[in-house]
Structure 1
Amino acid sequence: MYIMIKFFWAIRALQYKLLMGKVGRLCYMGKPLFLSNPKRIFIGNKVRIFPHFRMEVLDSNSSIVIHDNVSIGQNFHVISGASLHIGTGTTISANVLITNVDHSYADVSSSVMSQSLIVKETTVGDNCFLGVGSVLQAGTCLGSNCVVGANSVVKGVFPERCVIAGVPAKIIKLYDSSTQVWKTMDK
């Protein structure tokens, strides 16, 4: 039964080749919840996307680029007001949000939704793992081989080979290449 479902998801990915900027080879996709500006969404080879994903590209100068061999769990939500990249070999668990857009709140007398957007570079490096329910806010840049703990709220620039967790998220472990040992960070 599961193989049959994946077969239909592979057919759906082929259909999306007509709608999206690019869909690579050997991809499969569950049913989306919402696609905005799909011609500005570029998906590499061997990308697996489970159902109920929502991809929002806010304008024709923005894009979402998902590189090769990425696995994305259900209920994934990504919003881009610039170029947002998800690196090769990354695994994204269920219920994850990634955005490079934030709201201005300069005028406290009017609604946040009526104020301008602030766009900040957001990238996910190669071979990262994003735990269930994690949120990557605008301005987050993850180096390669990072692990983000479940339900973490991440904002900032993080080096490669680190474990990030918490609300707000911080580095809790860092890989020392010279000793080839994971070091726990002081609290």
Structure 2
Amino acid sequence: MSLKSSVGGAGRRVIAVVVHRVWEWLRTHAEISPSTPAGRRFAYLGEGACIGFPTGAIYGEPWIRVGDHTLIGVHVTLSAGFVPGLDLGPDPIVTIGKACSIGRGSHIVGHKSIEIGDDVFTGPYVYITDQNHGYTDPDVPVGRQWPVNDAVTIGSGCWLGAGAIILPGTRLGRNVVVAGGAVVRGEFPDHSVIAGVPAKVVRRYDPKAGWLPPLPEVPLDDETLAQIAKMIDDGTAKPDEMAG
């Protein structure tokens, strides 16, 4: 006989109320903050910072720094190194700046260096890593080949949409918008919007002209480019007008 069938309706309601209240209490009191034992394991967990409960996998805390007033959502994985207990040297591996917000279910997995600036916001389920498996040897399964590390830098003020993947070697400038689901690798300038698989710049900011419209999906042909250049040379069109 199951527990559900052996307990009457009133009893089940009482159990449900107790379970829900305990769960709410845990959500409120089991988050990781600078004053908790788990928070003191970090290289730095800043004033007002917190990691929501339930957490994802968290290890390598002595090599993880989290800035003041940064909020990390529930089910977020934060890791430095392959497994717990490794000595990773004197320098931090994962650094998250001040006043950031990391969306639920995200993964930040560092082995060499991941630096996230201040005021960086992410949607849920964002994946950021500085390591990937090599595939140079065609006779060895990819998962068994030695991994390759390449540092990741995410500039202050960036926004990473839901499900974005930030691969090793990525360097984002300041205030970069990453579209949801984008797969990002490479260097991208300040004040740009990037999207796609692989990600590319689809919009950018010019100090004189402001935000330029989305770039065309199909590159302009040589004849059209020549006509535009002639119009600019003749003074019949200005570059900012062409952009708008």
TM-based fold match above 0.5: yes
Choose which of 27, 47, 51 in structure 1 pairs with 2:74.
51
Aligned to 1:159: 189
Q: Deviations over 1:91-119 (max 9, x none)?
A: 01100000111111122222222211111
Q: Take 1:55 and 1:13, find their aligned partners in 2: how far apart are those partners?
A: 14
Q: Take 1:101 and 1:12, find their aligned partners in 2: how far apart are those partners?
A: 27
Choose which of 121, 128, 132 in structure 2 pairs with 1:102.
132
Runs (4 or more) in structure 1 with deviation over 6 Å come to 3-6
Q: Take 1:22 and 1:119, find their aligned partners in 2: how far apart are those partners?
A: 24
Q: TM-score, normalised by structure 2?
A: 0.71
Residue segments in structure 1 that go unaligned for 5+ positions in a row: none
Choose which of 198, 205, 208 in structure 2 pairs with 1:178.
208
The answer to whether the 8 Å contact 1:176/1:183 transfers is no
Q: Take 2:39 and 2:115, find their aligned partners in 1: how far apart are those partners?
A: 19
Secondary structure at the aligned position of 1:183 is classed as: coil
Q: TM-score, normalised by structure 1?
A: 0.91
Residue segments in structure 2 that go unaligned for 5+ positions in a row: 1-20, 218-244
Query: Does structure 1 residue 32 correspond to structure 2 residue 70?
Result: no
Describe the shift of the 1:150–1:5 C-alpha distance in structure 2 as closer, same or farther (beyond 3 A).
Answer: farther
Pairing of 1:70-149 with structure 2 (within 5 A):
70-149=100-179
Normalized per residue, the structure richer in helix is: 2
The answer to whether the 8 Å contact 1:143/1:159 transfers is yes
Q: How many residues align?
A: 185
Secondary structure at the aligned position of 2:128 is classed as: strand
The answer to whether the 8 Å contact 1:44/1:66 transfers is yes
Normalized per residue, the structure richer in strand is: 1
Q: Deviations over 1:19-59 (max 9, x none)?
A: 11110001121132211211101000010011111122116
Which amino acid is 1:34 matched to?
A
Which amino acid is 1:82 matched to?
K
Query: Does structure 1 residue 12 correspond to structure 2 residue 32?
Result: yes
Q: Take 1:99 and 1:29, find their aligned partners in 2: how far apart are those partners?
A: 19
Q: Take 2:212 and 2:185, find their aligned partners in 1: how far apart are those partners?
A: 22
The answer to whether the 8 Å contact 2:203/2:211 transfers is no
State the identity %: 27
Q: Take 1:37 and 1:81, find their aligned partners in 2: how far apart are those partners?
A: 10
Query: Does structure 1 residue 22 correspond to structure 2 residue 44?
Result: yes
Higher alpha-carbon deviation: 16-25 or 53-62: 53-62
Describe the shift of the 1:5–1:47 C-alpha distance in structure 2 as closer, same or farther (beyond 3 A).
Answer: farther
The answer to whether the 8 Å contact 1:85/1:123 transfers is yes
Aligned to 1:41: 64
| Structure 1 residue 18, shift from structure 2 partner | 1.5
| Structure with more contact order per residue of length (Cα contacts < 8 Å, sep ≥ 6) | 1
Q: Take 1:120 and 1:40, find their aligned partners in 2: how far apart are those partners?
A: 17
Bigger radius of gyration among the two: 2
| Structure 1 residue 149, shift from structure 2 partner | 0.4
Higher alpha-carbon deviation: 55-64 or 154-163: 55-64
C-alpha root-mean-square deviation of aligned residues, in Å?
2.0
